[in-house]
Amino acid sequence: MTNNTVLSQVQSLQQLGRVTYGLVPIAAGADKFTNLLTHWSNYVSPGLQTLLPLSADTFMMIVGVVEIVAGLFVLSIPRIGAWIVAAWLLIIACTLVLSGTYLDVAVRDIVMALGAYVLARLTGILESKKAQLN
């Protein structure tokens, strides 16, 4: 296998990650306004709800906006956006673990955060390789 073939395959994998980690946060963020997938305010722990100066539904809409922006960052600037999504997913997972609820979702978010980390690193490697070739 030639270096160009390997580079092309790695670029294809990076693009798949970019689209996945860009579109999924956008879809999840948009769903915070419709609650078609789930009723998102159920994921706000009772302890956090007592601290919020607004309703859980309004809080989750703000979360949705953050997720949409993070997804747009991944699509436009994947090296930075993937780090943002990875951190965001870890924050969500930690919040769920600390609340002792939805631990299955916390585990999935940790796994997705690792995938976003891989995308960030892979994008950085590809950008370095492209710079070397120019």
For position 36, what pLDDT does the model report?
Answer: 97
Closest CA to 81 of 66, 97, 63: 66
Q: Name the domain count of the chain.
A: 1
Phi, psi values for residue 53, rounded to 5° = -85, 10
Are 44 and 59 within 8 A, CB to CB? yes
- pLDDT tens-place values along the chain, 134 residues long: 777 888 889 899 999 999 999 999 999 999 999 999 999 999 998 888 899 999 999 999 999 999 999 999 999 999 999 999 999 999 999 999 999 999 999 999 999 999 999 999 999 999 988 888 77
Domain that holds residue 49: 3-133
pTM of the model: 0.90
Provide the token pair at 45.
């722990």
CB count, 10 Å around CB of 38? 12
Predicted confidence at residue 105, as pLDDT, reads 95
Q: Taking Cα atoms as reference points, which of 127, 6, 26 lies closest to residue 72?
A: 26
Look up tokens 């915070």; give the residue. 32
